Structure 1
Amino acid sequence: MTPSFEIPCVILCGGKSRRMGEDKSLLPFDSSTSLTQYQYDRLKPYFKNIYLSSKNDKFDFLDKSSNCLILDKGEVYSPIIALQTILQTLKDEKVFIITVDTPLVSIESISSLINESNNFDICVAQTLRTHNLCGVFSKNNLSTINKMLEEDIHKVGYLLKNNNTKYLNFDNDDEFINLNNKDEYNKAIDIINNTK
């Protein structure tokens, strides 16, 4: 049976991609024209709503009438600003957040994160390191986020430490690989090709 998650999913696509040298959200991936479209198409069937968080509208595959784009305000590139915008924009109490550059996170792992998030403001994945932007975030975080931005603090780790956070452990580090550079991008493509 296909899981159907009652919370929305937001894919973060607004980073600068400095280490990649080009906008990684627009790089082709598997049979999709872009990494963003790959993530969007694979996750959409499982969530009641799915959104893209970005600085601008750069996605040619989106139906413009779908209202699934959440645009950050201001010039600063910051995941904390993205989280603030998302939590202020959506009416839902909780949202599942994932970055565009983690295309190998399984639906089973996402399901575990959502199921384990019930009594927490944040529930994020952890392997050898903490995956700060792969997990469930609730509106309860907004007061901390607003205070952080007033004090010019943009570290997601700070948000996790100062809220009721659950760190959920997973064994497979490759599943949570971040495509920050060309080597990681090529490794992820190899992993995808080897699972076909």
Structure 2
Amino acid sequence: MLGIVLCGGQSLRMGSDKGLLKHQNKLWVQVAADKLASLNLPVKFSVNPSQQEVYAAYLGKGQLIIDDTLLGVRGPLLGVLSAHLSNPEEDLFLLACDMLLMEIRLIEKLINLFEPDDNFEAYIFSKDGQQEPLCGLYKAKGLKKIVQLLQTDALAKHSMKYVLSNLKVCEAALEKQDYRCFGNFNSQEEINE
């Protein structure tokens, strides 16, 4: 299993690259990576082509997975499929870099649900019945299925929630006190709050 920190977003509302912002003297990308690494997952960083040079300076080029823009999708799905295609046999644990309040125990809970030989293709949390796709475990076999749908023009939407609707998903319901862990920060105002 490979940990993937998703940092390829445009950060338009934030006004600067979220992954390179600092929280307690660490870059947001490093905060996320440290959480995954604490559970003994090797970690790579999903970035878009325009971020490649700057992120390589911070993290090293070998740690980066660059979005394959020829896939014809955008958003988090582009990062996920690019990571899958560069590591096709690996199950991926995804964590968005802007989920600063995510707790290691929740990541560990999903990993503990994981069974290599069961029928599930993804493991995620749900909050009030809504799936939380950007902190989740995606099996290689499920991602292969999504790539096939994309290649045959059968992937009607490119959202992560639509992707999940095409997979066999194990959902863990979140306790109310853990809802805050799934907040993502998109603007300076949200950080200040």
Same fold per superposition (TM over 0.5) = yes
Aligned residue in 2 for 1:126: 126
Mapped to 2, the partners of 1:86 and 1:73 lie a distance apart of 9
Moved more, 153-162 or 125-134: 125-134
Say yes or no: does 1:111 pair with 2:108.
Answer: yes
Q: Give CA-to-partner distance per residue, 1:119-161, whole Å, 9 cap, x none.
A: 3101112224321111100111222234236356311111111
Secondary structure, aligned partner of 1:10: strand
Stretches of structure 2 that go unaligned for 5 or more consecutive residues are none
Verify the 8 A CA contact 1:101 1:178 in the aligned structure 2: yes
Verify the 8 A CA contact 2:74 2:158 in the aligned structure 1: no
Mapped to 1, the partners of 2:131 and 2:186 lie a distance apart of 16
Deviation at 1:46, TM superposition (A): 2.2
Moved more, 75-84 or 128-137: 75-84
Aligned residue in 1 for 2:188: 182
Within the candidate set 77, 82, 86, 1:80 is matched to: 77
Deviation at 1:91, TM superposition (A): 4.8
In structure 2, do the counterparts of structure 1 residues 117 and 136 end up closer, same or farther at CA, with 3 Å as the change threshold?
same
Say yes or no: does 1:14 pair with 2:8.
Answer: yes
Stretches of structure 1 that go unaligned for 5 or more consecutive residues are 1-6, 188-196
Aligned residue in 2 for 1:145: 147
In structure 2, do the counterparts of structure 1 residues 169 and 183 end up closer, same or farther at CA, with 3 Å as the change threshold?
farther
Aligned residue in 2 for 1:96: 93
Moved over 6 A (4+): none
Note the aligned Cα RMSD (angstroms). 2.1
Q: How many residues matched?
A: 178
Secondary structure, aligned partner of 1:98: strand
Verify the 8 A CA contact 1:9 1:97 in the aligned structure 2: yes
Aligned residue in 2 for 1:44: 37
Q: Percent identity?
A: 25
Say yes or no: does 1:54 pair with 2:60.
Answer: no
Aligned residue in 2 for 1:167: 171
Aligned residue in 2 for 1:136: 137
Verify the 8 A CA contact 1:104 1:177 in the aligned structure 2: yes
Moved more, 54-63 or 171-180: 54-63
TM-score, with structure 1 as normaliser: 0.81
Q: Counterpart amino acid of 1:180?
A: N
In structure 2, do the counterparts of structure 1 residues 155 and 170 end up closer, same or farther at CA, with 3 Å as the change threshold?
same
Mapped to 1, the partners of 2:25 and 2:42 lie a distance apart of 23
Verify the 8 A CA contact 1:10 1:97 in the aligned structure 2: yes
Verify the 8 A CA contact 1:53 1:69 in the aligned structure 2: yes
Q: Counterpart amino acid of 2:127?
A: T
Within the candidate set 142, 146, 155, 2:159 is matched to: 155
Q: Give CA-to-partner distance per residue, 1:19-54, whole Å, 9 cap, x none.
A: 22222112121221x211222234323233100001
